[in-house]
Structure 1
């Protein structure tokens, strides 16, 4: 058994953010160009208001969240409109990672792409259908 694990700590907010930025940079250029100004945040957990709004039973229920006006709904930008933003939640991501057989980098990429899908105007149902077709 490697002793490297004995000295390792859970990835920090900054390390998860670095994974997210690397994942975004690895996306096809055509995909990235459709995301100008999208801001990615990494927090430990969603705030209480978000948990209530998303009808979460636990603070571990939400891995990521898109807030903003998706490309499909976008029109003229109005004064005071917040930029499109994606939140990734470190603790729920780490909890999910510990219980599944995938790398943390793959999980962060998957959640980031899912939230970018919402930026594109796709619903959870749309994305589930796309993923199911891709798995066939």
Structure 2
């Protein structure tokens, strides 16, 4: 009975990661990605926000603020990002509350979900297929 009560106590102490904690998770996930995949992003900036801005929701035609888990903004090296003077850095926005909502409804580890969202936001921006992105996820491991 002690093991069960210890587990219940441990679960009661769990809390959702803060914005800063999720940003650390995302940076660690990005660092685990294959070098060639990270190189496509240039000097990527990862920002974690609770929700997308209303303008983003409108632009993406989202029905609710929970519809977007992440968003890639920028110009990749494949699109001539090196040649654009004074261009803003490539940026990934991860939306904490929608990610946590998705996580709560699915049987998936949070670290693996953050890795998945990162890979898919980068991959879709660069036109990678789902099979390509799945291979990157496998190489990255995730947790």
Contact 1:41 1:88 in 2 (8 A): yes
Structure 1 gap segments, 5+ residues each: none
Partner of 2:49: 43
RMSD: 2.1
What's the TM-score once normalised by structure 2's chain length? Answer: 0.80
Partner of 2:34: 28
Structure 2 gap segments, 5+ residues each: 137-143
Q: Of Structure 1 and Structure 2, which has the larger fraction of its residues in helix?
A: 2
Once the two structures are TM-superposed, the CA of residue 14 in structure 1 deviates from its matched residue by: 1.1
Number of aligned residue pairs: give it.
129
1:128 maps to which of 127, 130, 138: 130
* Partner secondary structure for residue 64 of structure 2: coil
Once the two structures are TM-superposed, the CA of residue 133 in structure 1 deviates from its matched residue by: 9.1
What's the TM-score once normalised by structure 1's chain length? Answer: 0.84
Once the two structures are TM-superposed, the CA of residue 128 in structure 1 deviates from its matched residue by: 3.3
1:62 maps to which of 61, 68, 73: 68
* Partner secondary structure for residue 78 of structure 2: coil
Once the two structures are TM-superposed, the CA of residue 27 in structure 1 deviates from its matched residue by: 1.3
